[in-house]
Structure 1
Amino acid sequence: MRKTSKKKDLPSPFSLKEILSSIRARKGEPFTLTDVAQALDVDPSRRKDLRQTLRAMVNERKIVRLDRRHYGLPPQEKVIIGRVQAHRAGFGFLIPEDSSFPDIFLSRREVKDLMHRDKVALHLSRKERGRKKTPRVIEVLERANRRVVGRYEEGPKWDRVVPDEQRLVQPIRIAKKASGGARKDQIVLAEITRYPDGMEGPEGKVLKVLGDPGDPRLDSEIIIHKYDLPDEFPSSVLEEASMIPSAVQETRAGKRRDLRKIPFVTIDGETARDFDDAVAISREPGGRLKLWVSIADVSHYVREDSALDQEAFRRGTSVYFPERALPMLPHALSTGVCSLNPEEDRLCMTVTLEFDRRGEVLQADFFPSLIHSHARLTYTRVKKILESDQPDPDTGPPGLYQDLQTMAALCRKLRARRMERGSIDFDLPEPEVILDVQGQIEEIVKRERHIGHQIIEEFMIAANEAVARFLDQRRAPSLHRVHDPPDPKKVEEFKEFVEHLGYPFAVKAKLHPRTFQKFLDRVRGMPEEKSVNFLLLRSMRQARYSESKPGHFALAAEHYLHFTSPIRRYPDLVVHRILKEVLQHGGLTERRTQRWQKKLPAIAEHSSQRERVAMEAEREIVDRKKVQFMRDKLGQEFNGYISGVVPFGVFVELEEFFIEGLVHLNRLPEDHYEFLEKKHTLVGRRLNRVFRLGDRVRVRVEAASLERRQVDFGLVQ
């Protein structure tokens, strides 16, 4: 007869009911041991008993542990589905699909059978019999890593591949006969044939030898394989694309408004090749302005459920590298008949917005159109034209100078209104990799953001909001761009950080984006501006796509979606289809409404996932380029400023190049350093040397490691 173990009582004198009552009073916010102790007025001598009580409550599934300090109430569903975000130290986090629930800490034991980005279900109610402590059950729903890029290492019985992705902490064991001819230290592509199972780590075989480490020509190929990015298009997709005429046939333009005489222009980056949007403006009686935003009508060519559509859905988004792009659509469409190339007729979906003198929308209209782009402008060229005192007849079509001046004036009004309602404007410049004609890195600079960029940014936001508002008013299902309010715990950490910098930050119970924007205005131009912007951005939740409409926090917008980039984003293509249906039929039938409601959740989840993968890939290839750029500068000295402080050293950003590197503790003046976490400061206790955010320093380049994707500096005394 099996013995039944008695459930242990909670340590006296703590009442489970009182503890849960104090927790529920926090209205869903994560809590710590200290929070509960203060709420119940627990004597410090009883803190140990309270900690044991909370552990028992975790085992009983009354609460869940979110990380090493924080706890939370379990969701009512009893099962949390999400993606694993592993850490190179061996532990990890579960990032729930339901963004209303915070990230959940996973111990090393829980992560050992999982891999980074795996989709899992965390069961909070299932228990393993016969154990006093019942570990949480984690069920793998989908393996994210079929193939792995890494460095090949040889061993006496087995070889192995050490993954390039540092969050894949277990090497892939390779049988000698499955080496694919790889040699020691070569970069290879391996396929996983058996996943970790608790007893043994993953096994695999080498599919392809990519080349030798350090070869910059391998960067794109490494990233493509590492993130499993689609490169070549299937033959069925290319065949379907080849059947589409390369030019617009006027007889097939259909019932479209002919806007070819309106002086539309495109404004994009110098290296852009796919042009989604074109804009035009006119001055109307009474001081009103009329803005035209025409977007490539991709849905005219990419029919729902066609081979082109299925491939576009699979890719989700275009991915951009410094030297090349992986387009969502074949080039025949992305840079051909869909792209709003200069001096060519194109099919579009057009939004017209009429504004009063203050920049408030008076009227909006939406319709299919036929346009003709009169000029291909760049952001830099627009800035130059606007800075000139008078029009240059060689700068473009007649009236361009006056139109750009009018666009700039409207842009400033729209921006001011957006800031007034509380929209957050993060000032975080991005790196731009400049390549020479041979494709070698010439320099890495801070990407400019000026009036040329702002004109397009404001006009696209206005068009996106207008379409979202229109579809919501028609009660049509749609794919919304959602940005949830930040996690209160992270806001509290941000508050502690900035107050230690000497900036008081009052947080109200109900968070409003205006609070954060006003604070960013206060630190503008200060040495710690970049660090404050960066930490605030990290405090925010990641934007995502959703079939529901909770709004966009950072934009302070109730209605928002993505409509303006259907050549490179699949959600925009979906929105175009829904908009055209509504315009054509005056709304959606019940059958079509139900069909979209059924399809949109899967499209939203997949598109959000593909966007995150693309962002990681684009960020990593730039990091690799930075390391390569600094490898021939070993021993050189540069001026910079401290951009980050961590327990093991300080990060320094160079003034000459937009590159950040680490000065490790062992390269600081010899001392015993104490890390003051809340003040983001290192203090030498013997020599009293202090290193804090914003301090100017001079550094020497000591190392540039592609394996760690990190540049190491030494401090010049």
Structure 2
Amino acid sequence: MDGTFEKRKKIIYALICDDYYIPMKLKEIAALLQVPKDQRQELKDVLDSLIGEGRIRVSKKGKYCKGETQTLTGVYQANPRGFGFVTVEGREEDVFIGEDDTGGAFQGDTVEIVLTREKDSSRQTGRDSGRRHRCEGRVVKILERGVTDLVGLYEKPKKKSYGFVIPDNRRFLEDVFIPEGKDGGAVDGHKVVVELTDYGGSGRKPEGRIREILGHVNDPGVDILSIVKGYDLPCEFPEKVMNQAERIPDHISEADMAGRKDIRDWQMVTIDGEDSKDLDDAVSLIKKGDSYVLGVHIADVANYVQEGSALDREALKRGTSVYLADRVIPMLPHRLSNGICSLNEGEDRLALSCIMTIDGAGHVTDHEIAETVIRVDRRMSYTGVAKILEEKDPEETHRYEEVVPMLRQMAALSGILREKRHRRGSIDFDFPEAKLILDERGKPVDIRPYERNTATRLIEDFMLLANETVAETYFWREAPFLYRTHGAPDEEKLRSLAIFINSFGYTMHISGKVQPMEIQKLLGRIEGTPQEALISRLALRSMQRACYAPENEGHFGLAAKYYTHFTSPIRRYPDLQIHRIIKDDLRGRLNEKKAEHYRKILPGAAKQSSQTERRAEEAERETVKLKKAEYMSDHIGETFEGVISGITKWGMYVELPSTVEGLVHVSSMHDDHYEYREDRYEMTGSHTGRTYRLGQKIRVRVAGADRLQRTIDFEIAKEGGKDHGESEDRREDDRQQQEGLS
């Protein structure tokens, strides 16, 4: 049979290589060769084999052509269901890799692939309308392993000398075999770090040795420590870095203040969360006639972290501070982040200030960027400021009476700025994030939405304006710079959305270049309607992720022509980097030689900052999922009302008012056989006709919660049962996407 198959391959390949051959589709080749309908699958198998060998390829229109094999290099991203994607630098879309074409690649491996099918860009109709047809490929060579260590749960069968590690990361699909003598003293139930010594293949499991024991799976803190290790987040600072930090004084001197604008007599406050310790931004405001003079004062971290120093190299390596449920992994040592760089109440501090004059319509009519010396009058919290501005709380108002008039003016200016952004088309997806309440052992005792209030919006408005002002200033100075960029949405997704919302009577103009105003108008029209949850989610999912870049490409979500990150140098490296450029410019040191130096290093800094930001977001998301699963494990059997937040072939995701999300697996829906309709974002029973749609309210019962897999299972609740909530529109992936816009 193998001989026959190879003969057929030779015949087909000779046909396609013939000078008179015109590219044909499968049906056309079958007709030419007079292949009966019942043997067309065999013909397709032959063609697929030739594609897999790179000898032929399939065009965008599905026609078979001679190979001209092109290899691409990229990073493999595995999916828990067996398939994966390869991200190739310079290509807009990832290449899909089928389960049988992974070539033994692991998550994060650098691989060489051949394309087996190009993207079908033709528009679809009917049930497949809006379905995305990616390029497909096959891994032909693993160039470099991306992962050498894994974190997981060690299991040792009774009376056996060997064991296995079950990886925490579900992208690693196989358990790791631990031979006798390689367990490092681990016992059944330990969370461990395993070093891979053999990546397996051809029916063999990967092998490894246990390098570190994190603790027992039930020990407090081990769960989050496992995430820290799994994402390779650096916990301890190297000795050289700590020694350098220790040499930095804990107060500023007269020499530090020389040549700076002294504004210590300006009234200013910090407004942060109650638990915040790294206070890197302060705000001031006075009114001059009909204009406002807003000062956004940012800690001058660059004064203490010199480029190329041990502190700087470590900050670049970390890229960002990481905020997990029970700990913070800072970008800079605490002596800096909580000490001399923190804008503490009543302390003299060095700052980089953006002082803006703003008219009654919210336009910046004048501005100054300066190195300053400041002294914060009051350290305030979002909750306290909201009590003053929203609730008119007499006790809180009396406590901060000297700054209350300024706070009220700030609220007025905040409203003006927000309205101005709204008029130009800025998109505001107001999905609340989860607030975790943990006890002293790290066990979640409550989970609820963290709502935005007047104070959080006020600070957001002022920081956005400072970021835009600084970005525009340095764009027109043609200085080397780092920008925060956000591209236009995926056109196919928007086209699918436009088709879908037509069924609800809504329209969206998407011909030509899509404008943010169109999405903002849509969100305005659906506000308060039954379809708001559904359409808001789909609009959000059409958005790209924001990233850092040395070129200014604008920010679609904010409808801003110029945008950067200037306001958080304690916790974000890009902010620290541009502070150095600004200070060199202010001091007249940004000559062509210095500018060329920055142009050389900025692409690397942008890439590293974007990658570490993504790593931090994923670690934070996994921590939240872990604590949600742990919390819901105490609520098995209880009934809640939620909203359908996602529909897939394998089931429906349902989100509760607390932001907890779980899966109703299609296998648990015994009352009917449900068919998934991707084009309509719904699931319909073939017998009952019952339909479940994205955004629909539904009552579910908690069927299970797995802390190790960080998953929650729901089942559709029958009538009755105690109700523990009302529906609300949020989903964890959407929160991450929303954060990725700003």
- TM (norm. structure 1) is 0.86
- Pairing partner for 2:259 from 255, 260, 284: 255
Partners in 2 of 1:618 and 1:143 — Cα distance?
25
Which residue identity does 1:403 align to in structure 2? Answer: M
Change (3 A) 1:135 1:449: closer
Who is 1:129 aligned against? Answer: none
Q: Deviations over 1:295-351 (max 9, x none)?
A: 000000001111111110111100001211000000000111101111211110000
Change (3 A) 1:177 1:158: same
Which residue identity does 2:409 align to in structure 1? Answer: T
Q: Deviations over 1:432-455 (max 9, x none)?
A: 102245543221001111221111
Which residue identity does 2:151 align to in structure 1? Answer: V
Q: Counterpart of 2:471 in 1: which secondary structure?
A: helix
Who is 2:184 aligned against? Answer: 180
Gaps of 5+ in 1: 20-32, 34-46, 126-133
Pair 1:667 & 2:659 matched: no
Which residue identity does 2:648 align to in structure 1? Answer: V
Who is 1:115 aligned against? Answer: 106
Pair 1:208 & 2:212 matched: yes
Q: Is the 8 A contact 1:701 1:712 kept in 2?
A: yes
Q: Is the 8 A contact 2:388 2:397 kept in 1?
A: no
Q: Counterpart of 1:617 in 2: which secondary structure?
A: helix
Who is 1:652 aligned against? Answer: 654
Who is 1:408 aligned against? Answer: 411
Change (3 A) 1:210 1:540: same
Q: Is the 8 A contact 1:102 1:487 kept in 2?
A: no
What does residue range 130-529 of structure 1 map to in structure 2 within 5 Å? Answer: 140=142, 142-154=144-156, 159-195=163-199, 200-285=204-289, 287-389=290-392, 395=398, 399-436=402-439, 439-500=442-503, 503-529=506-532
Q: Counterpart of 1:178 in 2: which secondary structure?
A: coil
Partners in 1 of 2:149 and 2:555 — Cα distance?
36
Pair 1:88 & 2:80 matched: yes
Partners in 1 of 2:559 and 2:616 — Cα distance?
26
* Bigger Cα displacement from structure 2, 688-697 vs 475-484: 688-697
Partners in 1 of 2:593 and 2:348 — Cα distance?
36
Partners in 2 of 1:106 and 1:580 — Cα distance?
47
Q: Is the 8 A contact 1:471 1:478 kept in 2?
A: yes
* Bigger Cα displacement from structure 2, 311-320 vs 181-190: 181-190
- Pairing partner for 1:9 from 13, 16, 23: 16
Partners in 2 of 1:359 and 1:680 — Cα distance?
41
Partners in 2 of 1:463 and 1:671 — Cα distance?
56
Change (3 A) 1:333 1:322: same
Partners in 2 of 1:496 and 1:158 — Cα distance?
57
- Measured after TM superposition, the shift of residue 201 of structure 1 is 4.9
- Pairing partner for 1:593 from 592, 595, 601: 595
Which residue identity does 1:448 align to in structure 2? Answer: E
Q: Deviations over 1:506-550 (max 9, x none)?
A: 322211111111112222233443343333222222111112222
- Measured after TM superposition, the shift of residue 492 of structure 1 is 2.7
Who is 2:128 aligned against? Answer: none
Partners in 2 of 1:344 and 1:141 — Cα distance?
54
Who is 2:89 aligned against? Answer: 97
Q: Is the 8 A contact 1:148 1:163 kept in 2?
A: yes
Change (3 A) 1:499 1:554: same
Change (3 A) 1:435 1:571: same
Which residue identity does 1:170 align to in structure 2? Answer: E
- Measured after TM superposition, the shift of residue 354 of structure 1 is 0.6
Partners in 2 of 1:231 and 1:601 — Cα distance?
26
RMSD: 3.4
Partners in 2 of 1:283 and 1:440 — Cα distance?
48
Pair 1:625 & 2:627 matched: yes
Q: Is the 8 A contact 1:112 1:196 kept in 2?
A: no
Pair 1:677 & 2:678 matched: yes
Percent of aligned pairs with the same residue?
A: 39
Q: Counterpart of 2:295 in 1: which secondary structure?
A: strand
Partners in 1 of 2:384 and 2:688 — Cα distance?
53
* Bigger Cα displacement from structure 2, 521-530 vs 377-386: 521-530
Who is 2:4 aligned against? Answer: none
Q: Is the 8 A contact 2:682 2:692 kept in 1?
A: yes
Partners in 1 of 2:58 and 2:553 — Cα distance?
27
Who is 1:44 aligned against? Answer: none
Change (3 A) 1:307 1:96: same
* Bigger Cα displacement from structure 2, 705-714 vs 371-380: 705-714
- Measured after TM superposition, the shift of residue 157 of structure 1 is 7.5
- Measured after TM superposition, the shift of residue 61 of structure 1 is 8.3
Q: Deviations over 1:253-278 (max 9, x none)?
A: 22111111111111111221111100
Who is 1:561 aligned against? Answer: 564
- Measured after TM superposition, the shift of residue 631 of structure 1 is 1.0
Change (3 A) 1:55 1:542: farther
* Bigger Cα displacement from structure 2, 370-379 vs 489-498: 489-498
Partners in 2 of 1:70 and 1:566 — Cα distance?
51
Change (3 A) 1:225 1:497: farther
Who is 2:636 aligned against? Answer: 634
Partners in 2 of 1:290 and 1:648 — Cα distance?
56
Q: Is the 8 A contact 2:221 2:442 kept in 1?
A: no
- TM (norm. structure 2) is 0.83
Who is 2:124 aligned against? Answer: none
Which residue identity does 2:584 align to in structure 1? Answer: E
Q: Counterpart of 2:278 in 1: which secondary structure?
A: coil
- Measured after TM superposition, the shift of residue 139 of structure 1 is 5.5
